[in-house]
Structure 1
Amino acid sequence: MEETIAGPEAARIPKQRGDSLPEAAVRYAEERHWDVFPGTWLEAVAGTHRCSCGRSGCPLPGAHPTDDDWEGRATSSGTVARRLWSERPTASVLLPTGRTFDALDVPETAGFLALARMERMELTLGPVALTPDRRMRFFVLPGAAAKVPDLVRNLGWSLPSLDLTALGEGCYVAAPPTRYGSQGAVQWACRPTPANRWLPDAEELISPLAYACGRSR
């Protein structure tokens, strides 16, 4: 039987809180104990928005680290985060993976299909971010990046054939309300709440995610 996404995709996204970038950074550090660090930001130049890095053709304008030492600058201290964003209130909010969480990155279409399937399976989800470049990132326990290749192979799939990536140590994700160039802002498809403070293991989500990625190829 063919599976469909229940309801319009837009209707599945909860109303977003109106936090500023500094407020969001402090809240992630204080409420979730996530490490945060400020990234690049958008600058208005000749009627368009360009990345503060100044690089022509920047692939991720306004949402990438400003230097190579970003891992060392990440902090879970609300006090430090408040100071960092007071110095640059327009900086993007970036979260390193491989510490308090990893992220399973899939195409938006596959992500919505997987969400519908997970709801029917009554799986407990962690936060899920929706990016303006039409990707969905499922937050899971650290260690997923090392396990996903074997998990996918055990399900009978070839990882290169699925547009599914596990982001772990040495990687990062942009958090709401960070903006990517002119594409829009990162949003929460499933926002962080006290109910999802305890993250699922990648093994719990990999089957519906692999199925959805296979279906949406």
Structure 2
Amino acid sequence: MFIVEDTIAGLEAAQIPKQRGESLLDNAVRYAEERHWDVFPGAWLEAVDGIQRCSCGDGACSAPGAHPAREDWAGQATGSATVARRMWSKQPTASILLPTGRTFDAIDVPESAGFLALARMERMELTLGPVTCTPDRRMHFFVLPGAAAKVPDLVRKLGWPSASLDLTALGEGSYVAAPPTRLGSRGAVQWARSFHASLKRETLQGAHDYGDAATCRRTVFAWLTRYNTRRRHSANGHLSPNEYEHRHHTAKLTLAA
């Protein structure tokens, strides 16, 4: 595990956008107006026979409802709240995408490595920038522009073969999906910092640590299993993931005669 220290300076936990159950339009405008981030609308989800499909029309879309809707998306991105409001007013269900390489880069890591990094950075009392958690168990650490370009060289200096690391540096020409964008029926992108705080509060319950690694793994696994299946989420209309999927994404089967 290594830490990219070029986190976005000055972003304290209280300043990081919070999920408030508001519309995609409201969130997109807030990112542009309050955070001064460029935003652009991406694809969206459409209900087809009771199943959420991506607006791109590809039945095998790998990121349904969470990718650019047009090739010139980089030129479409705007930091104007007025323009953002106008774009999402035309398509209120469009995903919120943030171009990297402008006000920030992003480091894409597996969820397991991401939570370890968060814990370590908090223990080291490092300044933490925004971190998102995606439904496909990835985490995006927002870092200073240009930091992504340093990652390959840092990996080489540490003597790690790049092929063995499930890590992607996202700089100019890339993008990340912002909360509360939904990734098909898998769930919504969320701010991981509040998720991480809930994990510590509900599992440690005031204790300093878990005691040992095995206890930590068992406890966190049990908590994550409930979080990803039975816990109610505001992004799902205060339904559990299981209940949300049962109500909205149950495939209709035609029985053979």
Q: Work out the CA distance in 1 between the residues paired with 2:105 and 2:84.
A: 21
Q: Are 1:148 and 2:151 counterparts?
A: yes
- Quote the offset at 1:85 in angstroms: 0.4
104, 108, 111: which is aligned to 2:107? 104
Q: Are 1:168 and 2:171 counterparts?
A: yes
Q: Alpha-carbon deviations, 1:45-68, whole Å to 9, x = none? A: 001000011112011100111111
Gaps of 5+ in 1: 1-13, 192-217
* Runs (4+) off by over 3 Å: none
Structure with more contact order per residue of length (Cα contacts < 8 Å, sep ≥ 6): 1
One-letter amino acid matched to 1:151: L
**1:86 alignment partner in structure 2:** 89
108, 112, 117: which is aligned to 1:114? 117
> What is the DSSP-based 3-state SS (H/G/I as helix, E as strand, rest coil) of the residue aligned with 1:179?
coil
Gaps of 5+ in 2: 1-16, 195-257
> What is the DSSP-based 3-state SS (H/G/I as helix, E as strand, rest coil) of the residue aligned with 1:23?
helix
**2:136 alignment partner in structure 1:** 133
Q: Are 1:24 and 2:23 counterparts?
A: no
Scaled by the length of structure 1, the TM-score of the pair is 0.79
Scaled by the length of structure 2, the TM-score of the pair is 0.67
> What is the DSSP-based 3-state SS (H/G/I as helix, E as strand, rest coil) of the residue aligned with 1:71?
helix
Q: Which of structures 1 and 2 has the bigger CA Rg?
A: 2
Q: Are 1:61 and 2:64 counterparts?
A: yes
Q: Work out the CA distance in 2 between the residues paired with 1:35 and 1:47.
A: 33
- Quote the offset at 1:145 in angstroms: 2.4
- Quote the offset at 1:15 in angstroms: 7.2
Q: Give the total of aligned pairs.
A: 178
Q: Work out the CA distance in 1 between the residues paired with 2:18 and 2:179.
A: 12
Q: Alpha-carbon deviations, 1:53-97, whole Å to 9, x = none? A: 111201110011111100000000000000000000000000000
78, 101, 120: which is aligned to 1:75? 78
Aligned-CA RMSD value: 1.4
One-letter amino acid matched to 1:72: G
In structure 2, the CA distance between the partners of 1:16 and 1:103, relative to structure 1 (3 Å rule), is same
The correspondence of residues 5-24 of structure 1 with structure 2, limited to 5 A, is 16-24=19-27
**1:36 alignment partner in structure 2:** 39
Q: Work out the CA distance in 2 between the residues paired with 1:19 and 1:104.
A: 27
The correspondence of residues 162-201 of structure 1 with structure 2, limited to 5 A, is 162-190=165-193
Q: Work out the CA distance in 1 between the residues paired with 2:106 and 2:53.
A: 27
Contact 1:126 1:190 in 2 (8 A): no
Q: Work out the CA distance in 1 between the residues paired with 2:158 and 2:123.
A: 20
> What is the DSSP-based 3-state SS (H/G/I as helix, E as strand, rest coil) of the residue aligned with 1:185?
coil
Q: Work out the CA distance in 2 between the residues paired with 1:61 and 1:71.
A: 19
